[in-house]
């Protein structure tokens, strides 16, 4: 009798495992990769980088501190942002 139960459960276990693998490949792995890229972006900031903030403000980094940065958005106009506000670096 136990052999019959395993024979009927085995395909469901394999199917569930395949679903978990597909979920990881399609959802979890890309999220982890984006988080890694974001951390590298924030850690790699340096003075003089031209950036775009999450709010769409363009500027140039003039000073960096632990969690903050000063960004010159216009000549003589410097704003302070959290480092995590950087959306991308302009090339």
In the chain, which residues have pLDDT < 70? 1-4
Indicate the pTM of the whole model.
0.72
Secondary structure of residue 41 in the 3-state scheme: helix
> What pLDDT, on a 0 to 100 scale, did the predictor assign at position 31?
94
Q: Where are the domains of the chain?
A: 1-43, 47-91
Whole-angstrom distance, CA of residue 24 vs CA of residue 12: 18
Kindly report each contact of residues 44-47 with a partner whose C-beta sits within 8 Å and lies 24 or more positions away, as own/partner: 45/69, 45/83, 45/86, 45/89
């Amino acid at each position: 009798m136990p052999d019959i139960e395993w024979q009927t459960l085995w395909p469901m276990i394999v199917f569930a495992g395949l679903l978990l693998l597909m979920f990881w490949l399609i959802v979890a792995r890309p999220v982890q990769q984006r988080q890694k890229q974001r951390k590298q972006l924030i850690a790699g900031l340096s003075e003089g980088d031209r950036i775009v903030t999450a709010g769409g403000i363009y500027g140039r980094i003039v000073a960096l501190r632990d969690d903050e940065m000063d960004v010159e958005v216009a000549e003589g106009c410097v704003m302070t942002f959290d480092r995590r506000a950087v959306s991308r670096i302009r090339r």
